[in-house]
Amino acid sequence: MTFRADEAARRGLESARNFLISKNIELGERERSEKKLLDIVDKHGPVVDSYPSWHPLVNNNQEDKCPVVTPSERCGYKGLDHTIYFVNAFITCPYDDGQEVLDSVNEFPRDYNSIAWITAKRLDVQLYISDATPILVYCDWRKSIPSNNMIPASIATPLMLQKEVPCWEWSERGETWETMRSYFLGRPHGSRSSLFVNQQTALFMKKIWNLLNDTGMFGPMPY
């Protein structure tokens, strides 16, 4: 099936709206909550299912043999609950005051990723349920990205290389682009693009990945 970014973004927004703007929120607050959700989508990109493993929101992970594609304790976060992902941010809604989330983000080394900073803040609206505390965690890029929040090849490709090239020291075999595509493009995705990267960027990444495999640095290919 052909990947249509606009359709995927609309489905994601509807799913997030149903999850975050629920009947558990006071009627008078829902309009403010929905406006905040739309503002976050406009600023940080559409709703997604998972991140590329090289994305700054998840790549604070020291275990290279087990790629991380969603925020969790494995990449440094604590206290996450009832979470919705966006291209360059996520909202989590714990039942407590969210301080554990804020503290865990503040403990990230400021230089763990030189291309971006990760910031967390409480939101002044009700999301998911009136008793929860919504926290926005977002990626503050140090290099400019397009207004549509697509991550350009000049950023996505070196981040992919930074994450994957060190694996040559322990890898026993190469992996095809088709096997790694979800790790490199994020979900949802098509064969050559996703909500994170456009077709041109994905093609650059695929070409470079195939060239790396051709060197034999990761080991023989599984075919």
Which residue range forms the structural domain that includes residue 107?
5-141
> Given 109, 141, 173, which residue is the final one in a domain?
141
**29 and 69 in one domain?**
yes
**182 and 90 in one domain?**
no
**119 and 175 in one domain?**
no
Query: Count of domains in the chain?
Result: 2
Residue 220 within a domain? no
Residue 147 within a domain? no
Residues 180-206 have a mean pLDDT of: 94
- Binned at pLDDT 50, 70 and 90, residue 14 comes out as very high
For residues 94 and 100, what is the distance between their CA atoms, to the nearest angstrom?
9
pLDDT tops 80 at residue 3: no
**187 and 121 in one domain?**
no
The mean of the pLDDT values for the chain is 92
**45 and 122 in one domain?**
yes
Q: Which amino acid is at 215?
A: T
Question: CB-based contacts of 151: which residues, under 8 Å, 6+ apart?
Answer: 55, 87, 145, 196, 197, 201
**102 and 20 in one domain?**
yes
> Given 141, 172, 203, which residue is the final one in a domain?
141
**182 and 125 in one domain?**
no
Closest CA relative to residue 51, chosen from 78, 23, 90, 16:
90
Residue 65 within a domain? yes
For residues 125 and 117, what is the distance between their CA atoms, to the nearest angstrom?
24
**159 and 52 in one domain?**
no
pLDDT tops 70 at residue 110: no
**The model's pTM:** 0.94
Q: pLDDT tens digits, residue range 44-95?
A: 999 999 999 999 999 988 777 888 999 999 999 999 999 999 999 999 999 9
Residue 132 within a domain? yes
Residue 107 within a domain? yes
Residue 183 within a domain? yes
**91 and 21 in one domain?**
yes
Q: pLDDT tens digits, residue range 131-184?
A: 999 999 999 898 888 888 999 999 999 999 999 999 999 999 999 999 999 999
Under 8 Å between Cβ of 152 and 146: yes
pLDDT tops 60 at residue 28: yes
Residue 204 within a domain? yes
**162 and 126 in one domain?**
no
Residue 102 within a domain? yes
Under 8 Å between Cβ of 218 and 174: yes
**166 and 59 in one domain?**
no
**119 and 52 in one domain?**
yes
Q: pLDDT tens digits, residue range 177-186?
A: 999 999 999 9
What local confidence, expressed as pLDDT, does residue 215 receive? 96
- Binned at pLDDT 50, 70 and 90, residue 41 comes out as very high
What local confidence, expressed as pLDDT, does residue 96 receive? 94
